[in-house]
A and B are shown apart, each in its own frame.
Chain A
Amino acid sequence: MEIDDLASTSGEWLRGIGPQSDIVMSSRIRLARNLADFPFIRQCNDIDRANIDSTVRQRLGSNKALRDLTFIDVATLEALDRQFLVERQLISREHANSDGARAVAIDGQEQLSLMVNEEDHLRIQVMKSGLDLDGAWAQINELDDQIEQQLTYAFHEQFGYLTACPTNVGTGMRVSVLVHLPALVITNQIEKVFRSLQKINLVVRGLYGEGTQAMGDFYQVSNQITLGKSEKELIDQVGDVVPVVIDYERKARKFLIEEDQNELFDQVSRAYGMLQTARRISSEETMHLLSRVRMGINLGLIGDLEIPQVNELFIQTQPAHLQKIHQSALSTDERNIERANFLHRNLKSQDN
């Protein structure tokens, strides 16, 4: 599999299926793991890094369950291809921008990804469409077991899985749910949600696209603590609270409709119209407008467009994706024009 092949496909997690997928974009679990017999990445030189990279590839290649993963050598990729993988949520920005031997292994559905030589030697990730933390856990737990057959993890009886940063030690697990909360943003209630989640040790963050661009009204809810609770408890902590947030968003949407349906419909239609007709459009504005449209579809205000299509547009209108699809490098201004063209082609209204 080549990066260029990925440009024309899309990840399983964008399919807009799974429980609560009108509001929950994706569920993700990440495990941080380190090999027992190497220093952590910061104290590694080029030889160590190359050694870790080749050790992981060799050992994983000899395991039946892991053999089908495709390894991509991140170190030798062009900047654009690395950015593409970041937009795709297959590698982190840090992984894209760091130096030295490093890789990512992915499966054909883009549900699994395994970063080698990120902040920890291994960062294992499973991503699912909709709210499906138990499914994600079953999958990542199995993957972790398989890898552990091949590699010896740094583990301590008291502290659990040892990680470069003490904030990840213990389970090494970060559970994140990506929620779309436009109505809570419009009604200025999002702060209240932030505050109450923080009280129970959950972190909420906006999701960013390229470098700095806020991704329209999407928020990531994750656990902060990794030590002293079991994986199941950590998953439940996030999994129990997300339905409450969803319910809150639904109430806010209902309120908006009851309060002033015409105003809301106007906002949604304008957003849709802008996306269909703009001649040049920035990534930020696209995110913002797509967010409105996505909510509009869920409220039945837009009939000729479906959620998976919008989910894909979020990814495909990002800078690196646009350039891969267009098959050449583009300046910011050229991207803005190409983005508008791309949206125009993909959102041709069925009425006209």
Chain B
Amino acid sequence: MKCQKCSKSATFHITDLTGDGLLALHLCPDCAKHYLQPEVEDTETPKITGVLSDQLKLEQTAEELQELDSKKCPICGISFGKFRQAGRLGCPHDYVFFGAELKPLLESVHGSTEHVGKRPQRGAYDTESQTELIRLRGEMKLAVSEENYEKAQEIRDRIRSIEDQT
């Protein structure tokens, strides 16, 4: 059998799921390599960026979208635009901060927005110290990048004292 993309002989027989249904492909090793490479990247996570852009296109005007994209999490600094591009959030607080935008996304990916499974047995940090810790780590990063090690040390001590309380 000949490769469907070039004229070499096909040794790979791939059946793949696409948005429209099934795709049977007969490829030579080179073309198969090319074809399979991007697949390997996200073996476990369905394309979330696609779901997001579809959802936003339907509901937002261009200006609204631009404004939304520039909205930034105060804790980790990630913008909604960056999340939309990469499909990955920046910190736990984003689930709260971008909550209104995330809910329809979760609904369309999972068909639900409510966790019903296991819960940690031990008390978690309260939201306040959790965000405080991430904020302090951000400040520490900045201090280190400015080579202000004294300040960094000071912040580190504050981080330790919060950690020790829990």
Which A positions have Cβ atoms within 8 angstroms of B? 30, 34, 36-40, 42-43, 45, 47-48, 51, 92-94, 119, 141, 144-145, 148-149, 152-162, 164-171, 173-174, 185, 190-191, 194-195, 198, 203-206, 208, 211-212, 214, 222, 224-231, 282, 284-285, 288
Smallest CB–CB gap between A314 and chain B, Å?
A: 17
Q: Which residues of chain B are near A51, meaning CB under 8 Å? A: 137
Within the complex, which residue of B12, B77, B96 is in contact with A43, where a contact is CB–CB below 8 Å? B77
Q: Which residues of chain B are near A30, meaning CB under 8 Å? A: 44
When the two chains form their complex, are residues A170 and B117 in contact, meaning their CB atoms are under 8 A apart? yes
A40 to B24, CA, bound (A): 38
- If A37-B130, A40-B89 touch, whether A228 touches B122 (CB-CB below 8 Å) is no
Q: Which residues of chain A are near B125, meaning CB under 8 Å? A: 36-37, 152
- If A38-B137, A152-B124, A214-B14 touch, whether A158 touches B48 (CB-CB below 8 Å) is no
Smallest CB–CB gap between B91 and chain A, Å?
A: 4
Q: Which residues of chain A are near B46, meaning CB under 8 Å? A: 167, 203, 224
Within the complex, which residue of B14, B24, B87, B121 is in contact with A145, where a contact is CB–CB below 8 Å? B121
When the two chains form their complex, are residues A165 and B87 in contact, meaning their CB atoms are under 8 A apart? yes
When the two chains form their complex, are residues B75 and A211 in contact, meaning their CB atoms are under 8 A apart? no
Nearest 7 pairs between A and B by C-beta? A228-B112, A160-B115, A37-B133, A154-B92, A227-B110, A43-B90, A39-B91
- If A162-B95, A203-B46, A227-B110 touch, whether A284 touches B117 (CB-CB below 8 Å) is no
A165 to B88, CA, bound (A): 5
A194 to B21, CA, bound (A): 10
Which partner residue on chain A sits nearest B133 by CB separation? A37
Within the complex, which residue of A158, A185, A225 is in contact with B111, where a contact is CB–CB below 8 Å? A225
When the two chains form their complex, are residues B22 and A38 in contact, meaning their CB atoms are under 8 A apart? no
When the two chains form their complex, are residues B124 and A158 in contact, meaning their CB atoms are under 8 A apart? no
Q: How would residues 11 to 46 of chain B score, 1 for a CB under 8 Å from any chain A CB and 0 otherwise?
A: 111110100011010000100110011011101111
Which partner residue on chain B sits nearest A171 by CB separation? B117
When the two chains form their complex, are residues A174 and B121 in contact, meaning their CB atoms are under 8 A apart? no
- If A43-B77, A167-B45, A169-B106 touch, whether A159 touches B87 (CB-CB below 8 Å) is no
Q: Which residues of chain A are near B57, meaning CB under 8 Å? A: none
Q: Identify whether the interface residues of A are mostly helix, strand, loop, or mixed.
A: mixed
A148 to B117, CA, bound (A): 15
- If A171-B115, A214-B36, A228-B113 touch, whether A38 touches B134 (CB-CB below 8 Å) is yes
- If A40-B90, A152-B122 touch, whether A208 touches B117 (CB-CB below 8 Å) is no
When the two chains form their complex, are residues A43 and B91 in contact, meaning their CB atoms are under 8 A apart? yes
- If A156-B95, A170-B110, A284-B11 touch, whether A37 touches B117 (CB-CB below 8 Å) is no
Within the complex, which residue of A161, A190, A198, A212 is in contact with B32, where a contact is CB–CB below 8 Å? A212
Within the complex, which residue of A160, A164, A230 is in contact with B89, where a contact is CB–CB below 8 Å? A164
Smallest CB–CB gap between B78 and chain A, Å?
A: 6
Which partner residue on chain B sits nearest A205 by CB separation? B43
Q: Which residues of chain B are near A284, meaning CB under 8 Å? A: 11-12, 29
A156 to B110, CA, bound (A): 17
When the two chains form their complex, are residues A211 and B33 in contact, meaning their CB atoms are under 8 A apart? yes
B2 at interface, CB cutoff 8 A: no
Which partner residue on chain A sits nearest B126 by CB separation? A36
Q: Which residues of chain A are near B134, meaning CB under 8 Å? A: 37-39
Within the complex, which residue of B90, B92, B113, B116 is in contact with A36, where a contact is CB–CB below 8 Å? B92
- If A43-B78, A155-B120, A159-B113 touch, whether A165 touches B89 (CB-CB below 8 Å) is yes
15 A-B residue pairings within 8 Å (CB atoms): A37-B137, A38-B137, A40-B91, A40-B92, A43-B91, A92-B43, A152-B122, A158-B114, A164-B89, A165-B48, A166-B48, A171-B118, A174-B44, A205-B39, A212-B36
Q: Which residues of chain B are near A194, meaning CB under 8 Å? A: 15, 17, 22
Smallest CB–CB gap between B84 and chain A, Å?
A: 12
Within the complex, which residue of A167, A171, A212, A231 is in contact with B48, where a contact is CB–CB below 8 Å? A167
Within the complex, which residue of A45, A145, A159, A191 is in contact with B115, where a contact is CB–CB below 8 Å? A159
Smallest CB–CB gap between A333 and chain B, Å?
A: 14
B141 at interface, CB cutoff 8 A: yes
